Amino acid sequence: MSIVMTGGGTGGHLAIIKAVKEELTDSELIYIGSTKGQDRAWFEDDRDFQAKYFLDTQGVVNQGVLGKFKSIYMLLKATLKARAILKKSNAKVVFCVGGFSAAPTSFAAKSLKIPLIIHEQNASIGSLNRLLRPYCDAFISSYEESSPIKAYPIKKEFFQKARVRREIKTIIFLGGSQGAVAINKLAIKIAPTLKEKGIKIIHQAGDRNIQEVKKQYQDIGIDATVFGFTDKLSDYMAEADFAVARAGASTLWELSAIGCPALFIPYPYAANDHQYYNAKFLEEQGVAWIIRENDITPQKVIDILDEDIESRSKKLQTLIQKDGAKEIANLLREYQ
């Protein structure tokens, strides 16, 4: 009797699965994802899952007419495969975190009358989760009062490493494991000023950009810590006193849990502009800043560094409850 986890494509989705599965070490876990996106990089070698399947799928959104037809055909084939997997594994519940990776298994679950639990990471609900919401057994969102679980599922280490920031000695630039060109360029532009202020730089440049960004720092005589995908992100966040980041939900809540104030530069092409609305949720609480990518200037960032971060750091940690992953895990166990 297994718990099946599905969804992904991006680290924001996959981080939810990672946090929840670590609370389910006593259960038989199956993962079903996609051959595309980051699913394999995260879970192909993960021993917490008794079995892992990566189906041939791709997103439907932002595709041309032919691309949409191809995506739908791939989805239908993958759904049939997912049905077979769910039957074989005697699945008792499916946990969906959204993204195109989740579609086949979620549709298969409903066709087999297997309970479906959805976690929505973003303030603006994703296309798949919006479609499936009327048919799911529970819909979890940290942004909705009606959610049965309000706590966002963050790994315990972020709470354990939390501290109050009182001054900025280290800044971290977070573009995600794939990197963000706009954030990379901004970091290089303001690096000399940060050096003058005695501020250390930690920079997640993206796997494809590491060498280029390292060389750019070397050319201007700055010793920065540069990385791409890492399993030490909580350590880097714990060291930082301030962050400049995209506003993916997991990044946003991890920074909150660890107490690190941030300037968010939302990815301008995110579906339904969800990164902006994620960051807006914190900005309205008076604990974060937002600047649109087209409006960003080095001086705007420098000016923010002189603002009060201590009160924001303290308040951030009150906005996110602990044990979100544990609460979701307990809910999933009820269906076993």
The tens digit of pLDDT for each residue in 17-58 reads 999 999 998 899 999 999 988 899 899 999 999 999 999 887
Distance CA 172, CA 17 (A): 25
pLDDT above 70 (res 60)? no
* pLDDT, position 10: 78
Distance CA 284, CA 118 (A): 26
**pLDDT exceeding 90 applies to what percent of the chain?**
73
Q: Do domains 2-153+322-333 and 157-319 have the same CATH topology?
A: yes
Considering Cα of 124, then 128, then 132, then 138, what sign does the dihedral take? negative
110-131 confidence digits (pLDDT tens): 999 999 999 999 988 888 899 9
Q: What is the pTM of this model?
A: 0.82
User: Do residues 96 and 102 lie in contact, with contact meaning Cβ atoms separated by under 8 Å?
Assistant: yes
Interacting residues of 329 by C-beta distance below 8 A, sequence separation 6+: 20, 23, 24
Helix (H, G, I), strand (E, B) or coil at 170: strand
DSSP 20: H
HSE value, Cβ hemisphere, 13 Å, CA-based, for 20: 32
The three state secondary structure string of 209-230 is HHHHHHHHHHHCCCCCEEECCC
Kindly tell me if the per-residue pLDDT of 243 is higher than 90. Answer: yes
Q: What confidence tens digit (pLDDT) does each residue in 202-241 have?
A: 999 988 899 999 999 999 999 999 998 888 999 999 999 9
Query: From residue 316, how far is each of 235, 282, 304, 306 by CA, in Å?
Result: 18, 8, 17, 18
Q: What percent of the chain has pLDDT over 70?
A: 97
Class of domain 2-153+322-333: alpha beta
Q: Is the pLDDT of residue 11 over 90?
A: no
Distance between CA atoms of 181 and 163, rounded to whole angstroms? 30
CA 135 to chain centre: 24
Say yes or no to pLDDT of 67 above 70: no
Write down how long the chain is: 336
AA identity, residue 24: L
Q: 157-319 — its CATH code? A: 3.40.50.2000
Give the count of beta carbons closer than 10 Å to the beta carbon of residue 210: 17
Q: Is the Cα torsion angle 99, 105, 111, 117 positive or negative in sign?
A: negative
Tokens in use for 149? 């679980």
Q: Is the pLDDT of residue 62 over 70?
A: no
Domain ranges across the chain: 2-153+322-333, 157-319
- 103: which strand partners? none
Better-scored residue on pLDDT, 83 or 60: 83
The mean pLDDT of 178-204, rounded to a whole number, is: 94
* Burial class, 85, CB count within 10 angstroms (exposed 0-12 / middle 13-18 / buried 19+): buried
Residue 50 DSSP one-character state: S
Q: Partners of 30 in the beta sheet?
A: 4, 51
Query: Which amino acid belongs to residue 225?
Result: T
Distance from C-alpha of 208 to C-alpha of 176, rounded to nearest angstrom: 11
Average pLDDT, the chain: 92
